[in-house]
Amino acid sequence: MTDQSELDRLEAEFTTAIEDALDEATLEDVRIAALGKKGRVSELMKGLGKMSPEERKEMGPKLNGLKDRLNEALAARKSALKEAVLEARLATEKVDVTLPVRDSALEQGRIHPLSQVYDEVISIFADMGFAVEQGPDIETDNYNFTALNFPEGHPAREMHDTFYFEPREDGSRLLLRTHTSPVQARTMEAGKPPFRFVAPGRTYRCDSDQTHTPQFHQIEGLVIDEETHLGHLKWTLEEFLRAFFEVEGVELRFRPSFFPFTEPSMEVDVRCARLGNEIRIGEGDDWLEILGCGMVHPNVLKNCGVDPEKYQGFAFGMGIDRIAMLKYGIPDLRAFFESDLRWLRHYGFAALDVPTLAGGLSS
């Protein structure tokens, strides 16, 4: 039987030792001295078995209480020590967070403005139900001219500065398409009306100066069915230009013009304001020529196996490079194809900047 004062002393002694322990090893030594197999508290507890029931009834709870309190103190001290160690480690683990990180690939990559505008244009026309058709850059005289109602020797052919290849054995000459209109002929020839598609692509003319490059990009549109008329053409172009330039509304002016493959033929001007070098579409009191269009010439329909008595419709064509320049304020067409890294980074678009009608064409 140990008296209360002895237990109190023991508790005070170990409590002090726990609090004085400065590292986990010392603390473990204290635990072993108190509660280890041969620890002093453990030894006292071993004595319980030899006691009388009354003594055991009195000493049991006291010793268990002591054990519990010591265990608690040990755990608390252990946690405090661990915390202190972590704090000490963290205090040494300081970096200069202003050090620069590497640029991510996403920040470095760019989409060419031409491709971006191409995606924008396609998303608008896709919503209007236009499919996308394509054709070869190297064309026959037939698809580029004859089928499109440019008769042999017609001066309209001379409006196109055509790149030719050397004559073939049969005397015919291939050429680089001067417009995307051959795709009209190819697609109509291969299919059956109704047609509703756009044909974007690369086109060529042997012309090079401030505003002309020997290659450029066009998008052609064609709608052929039994009803489509000039009013539909006007609406389609208005809706397209409004959506493309992301403005409230556009005003168009149709001027009669001449293209062999349309009749009537028109050039379309869009109302704009010119502020220095900047052009704003949809406001102001100036006009800017933006595209050519018309009702498909009956000869073209006939040449492509479509009955012009039954079917009619419109065609339009515009420069993708040109509308890209207008929308994004790019001053020089030639720079599109010069691939100066500084230009590409400045005028290019981020990889994930994908144009959608839901999210807006441009971010």
Q: Which of 11, 13, 58, 137 binds other proteins (CB under 8 A)?
A: 137
Taking the C-alpha atoms of residue 284 and residue 96, their distance in angstroms, rounded to an integer, is 54
Taking the C-alpha atoms of residue 237 and residue 221, their distance in angstroms, rounded to an integer, is 10
Q: Which residues are CB-contacts of 165 (< 8 A; sequence separation ≥ 6)?
A: 138, 173, 174, 175
CA torsion, points 266, 255, 268, 287, in degrees to nearest 10? 160
User: Would you count residue 114 as binding other proteins (CB under 8 A)?
Assistant: yes
Q: What is the closest distance, in whole angstroms, from the C-beta atom of residue 236 to other proteins in the complex?
A: 5
Q: Which of residues 190-229 bind other proteins (CB under 8 A)?
A: 196, 202, 204, 206, 208, 214-215, 223, 228-229
CB of 72 or CB of 207, closer to other proteins: 207
Q: What is the closest distance, in whole angstroms, from the C-beta atom of residue 270 to other proteins in the complex?
A: 13
First vs last C-alpha separation in the chain: 85
User: Would you count residue 141 as binding other proteins (CB under 8 A)?
Assistant: no
Q: Please work out the total of residues on this chain that contact other proteins, with binding judged by CB under 8 A.
A: 90
CB of 18 or CB of 139, closer to other proteins: 139
Q: Which of residues 77-106 bind other proteins (CB under 8 A)?
A: 99-100, 102-106
Interacting span for other proteins (CB under 8 A) from 39-47, 52-60, 66-74, 263-271: 263-271
User: Would you count residue 245 as binding other proteins (CB under 8 A)?
Assistant: no
Interacting span for other proteins (CB under 8 A) from 8-16, 21-29, 55-63, 333-341: 333-341
Taking the C-alpha atoms of residue 17 and residue 25, their distance in angstroms, rounded to an integer, is 12
Question: What is the H or E stretch that residue 123 is in?
Answer: helix 113-127
CB of 21 or CB of 304, closer to other proteins: 304
Nearest by Cα to 269 from 297, 239, 237 = 237
Q: Is 280 helix (H, G, I), strand (E, B) or coil?
A: strand
